[in-house]
Structure 1
């Protein structure tokens, strides 16, 4: 019995040593406070909402984020997919190309863009929001009835989690699966978010063969897409605030040309509220301003940063 315990102890110690041979699996001081992701799929489903909202706001207000997204769109879709018929008959080939050109002008069911603009919009929303949905509809003009309607990622109910049919099906973030894990339907808000003035939560069930979900799969069993900006979102947000603070600091520094010390001591340094001991400045500053200081008063300004915001943005890029 003692021999068996000794052998077990040796094996256990060997396993611990093997575990510790990977620095990334260590538990020392350097790893204290490090974040972990126990389950990739669950983490992506839970994080996609906040990440998507923050990514949309950053792209709308930050030039670096906006230009990065446009670069992705340009590299992925470019001028658009332009198929060319290979039919041997030139007449038939010309007719097919002409029919395609006629259809591209009315491909968007919302009437916002042609087919090429539609594909660029799909890629842009996939990059920023994580995923985008498209459904074909037959409400087009006679002769070319097929059109595509895009759905915002948030229109597919991200809060719908449900067990169906006696545990033989489930709904995860608005996506319905059968008992074999296959996508069978999407639960979509009846009203678009921008038109839902009454906050209606009514949804419609659209079969999976009538809806196309476009996203970049990164993990087995992934349900919803994740914004491509996720890895840089926090750093880019911090840098955006840094650049804004640096710009404001440089603007303030440029306003004050210098200070004049009044030896007589009968001048107020700044026009302010006397009841507040001059602490509230009610006079504005303009470029080239000279301010008068009373006798015995001095101003110490913090050192101007050597690196400008423009240089910082260059190094960041």
Structure 2
């Protein structure tokens, strides 16, 4: 009966798959009630996920709350999780475009393809997966992340559960029906099976870009490390260190805990700020203060920084 309702209802239908034991579901039911008063042309349905296992399986409902959006008998979007602002935005967007002409469908498809291309090229290595690298939401995605991390591959990811349009459109765009999907330099590599084959043959390390090692990052970031950027030091010693030296760059070690801890070992210097000149450690604030009292060292610092 529920499926027949979806087929014959021509308006936008929003279905909330929920569970009575989940407090976040009760909160989202209140959000739905408020949206129903605002969007009277939209049909809102609550469906207890565990009471209809065949429907939940058909639509891959793996957690609650989950919202599915149907229009003209077709599922057009999905939202996983208790995200009231995102639910409101999706309802407004789909409700406002409920009557799309056949002529404009081509334009919508073209816009989606442009968006997909941008997403694929958003990073040298892009993984389209279910969930996030920290919280994969399917076994295949989890295995893919583990393989990439094991090989030290630098990658960005996109959660296809966060956008049903991308989830369905990417299957057609790349002619690949399942997830996860891995792209390198804008080109589809494949799914988990292909990546496993590349790993077994030893080709994975040459195909995918490697994550930069901490030692290499420290080599690149050999300049002044302070708690905040120049002009707004976090502690007095940071501003005192180079109050009269003009040309220098900074890195905020509070922005990257790996660098913050790793640089102490890398340079065998336990505190911050740290000053580097031409890749060599000069020292901390005490060393720099001594140097500023000696004109020859001060000149050396200034000249090296300007080179």
Answer yes or no: same fold by TM over 0.5. Answer: no
**Given the two structures, how large is their TM-score scaled by the length of structure 1?**
0.17
The structure whose RCO (Cα within 8 Å, separation 6+) is larger is 1
Larger radius of gyration: 1
